[in-house]
Amino acid sequence: MTKVIGVAVAAGLSIAAGAAIAGEKWDMPMAYSDSNFHTQNGKAFAKCVGTATGGEVEITVHGGGSLFKGGEIKRAIQTGQVQIGERLLSAHQNEEPIFGIDSIPFLASSFEASEKLFKAVRPTLEKVLEEQSLHLLYSVPWPPQGLYFKKEVNSVADMNGIKFRSYNSATSRLADLTGMVPVQVEAAEISQAFATGVAESMISSGATGYDRKVWEHLTHFYEVDGWLPRNSVMVNLDAWEDLDEEVQQAITGCADLAAYSGYWRSVQYTDFTMKGLADGGMTVGPANEKLVGELQEIGATMTEEWLEAAGEEGAAVVKAYKAE
Ligand code: PCA
């Protein structure tokens, strides 16, 4: 960690020591609410970049999907409509199966495992993203995923026919395999979806339930610890390659700091938001054994499906992860 801070600060000082130069102005769309830890972390990252590059790159964060909605952000960076942004990559699994590696049920279901998996997949992910004109800067996990309902649920049979809000293809598939009816809704719009009855359940973190005050519409949160999907901050490759090397290094230093602080923000937000859901009146606790067992079977099916889609490249990453 000291090394990371050292890099960022040293790079910042060396550039700041030069004359103040009128810098690049970058817009950074983020999809989640301003109060969310990813957004707060992104703002701290943007500030770090301004300082560490001596003002050569100034980033303005646009939270809450205000500039581009989650579903539009990746394309906006690729096409250069914006220079940088944050996206839940697993929502693009249909383009490249490797993007979905963090949403395979029960493959990596703790914070430590999520970091290990990310370490194993990072080189492949960077390569695939470069082919799409994107440079990966940092990635931060959401807290573990659990199930939200507006009734008590003790088995997969209890879920039959429920309208289920999904956020990527893995969550839609989970709905299919549990007999629920998936409807894809952005996090920024879930309060409305629950209020109007478009959706009546979801799988997500305590963080998103808390951010969207879901206790106004839902009653139960079951801890499942299914997986920890990640948000990735990416830069348009041309914008990145246009930067001087020392500016790139300063930004990379800030990105390493953001990965570290984002991880801990996520860990801390987990307990805080569990308590927040309970304070809001929800019943919060672990899913029962029967339900967990049934979900694990579904997880095994989804793992097989993913491995089939991801081919040798995917299998190699999973093998490297398991060997750690
Ligand atoms: N929150 C995001 C993705 C995963 C999470 O915990 C969402 O529900 O959209």
Is residue 233 a contact partner of residue 42, using CB atoms and an 8 Å limit?
Answer: yes
Strand order in the sheet with 181-184: 181-184, 163-166, 201-204, 146-149, 220-223, 283-286
pLDDT of amino acid 39: 98
pLDDT above 60 (res 1): no
For residue range 124-134, what is the model confidence (pLDDT) as tens digits? 999 999 999 99
For residue 94 the two structure tokens come to 């249909």
Centre of ligand 1 to C-alpha 262, Å, is 15
| Domains delineated in the chain | 2-142+229-270 (3.40.190.170), 146-226+272-323 (3.40.190.170)
Q: Determine which helix (DSSP H) or strand (DSSP E) holds 196, and give its type and residue range.
A: helix 190-196
User: What atom in ligand 1 is closest to the CA of residue 231?
Assistant: 3
* Pocket residue to mutate for ligand 1, from 89, 142, 184, most atoms within 8 A of Cβ: 142
For residue range 150-178, what is the model confidence (pLDDT) as tens digits? 999 999 999 999 999 999 999 999 999 99
pLDDT above 90 (res 4): no
What's the longest Cα–Cα distance across the chain? 67
User: What atom in ligand 1 is closest to the CA of residue 31?
Assistant: 9
User: What atom in ligand 1 is closest to the CA of residue 165?
Assistant: 8
The DSSP secondary-structure symbol of 303 reads H
Beta carbon of 204 within 6 Å of any ligand 1 atom: yes
Amino acid at 36: N
Beta carbon of 52 within 6 Å of any ligand 1 atom: no
Beta carbon of 65 within 6 Å of any ligand 1 atom: no
Provide mean pLDDT across the span 280-297.
97
Distances (CA, A) of 230 to 38, 156, 233, 247, 289: 10, 26, 10, 26, 27
Centre of ligand 1 to C-alpha 143, Å, is 9
pLDDT of amino acid 17: 45
For residue range 61-92, what is the model confidence (pLDDT) as tens digits? 999 999 999 999 999 999 999 999 999 999 99
Q: Is 294 exposed, middle or buried (0-12, 13-18, 19+ CB in 10 A)?
A: middle
Write the residue with the smallest CA distance to atom 4 of ligand 1. Answer: 204
Beta carbon of 142 within 6 Å of any ligand 1 atom: yes
Q: What is the mean pLDDT of the chain?
A: 94
pLDDT, greater one: 203 or 5: 203
pLDDT of amino acid 249: 98
Report the distance separating Cα 37 and Cα 212, nearest Å.
Answer: 13
Beta carbon of 33 within 6 Å of any ligand 1 atom: no
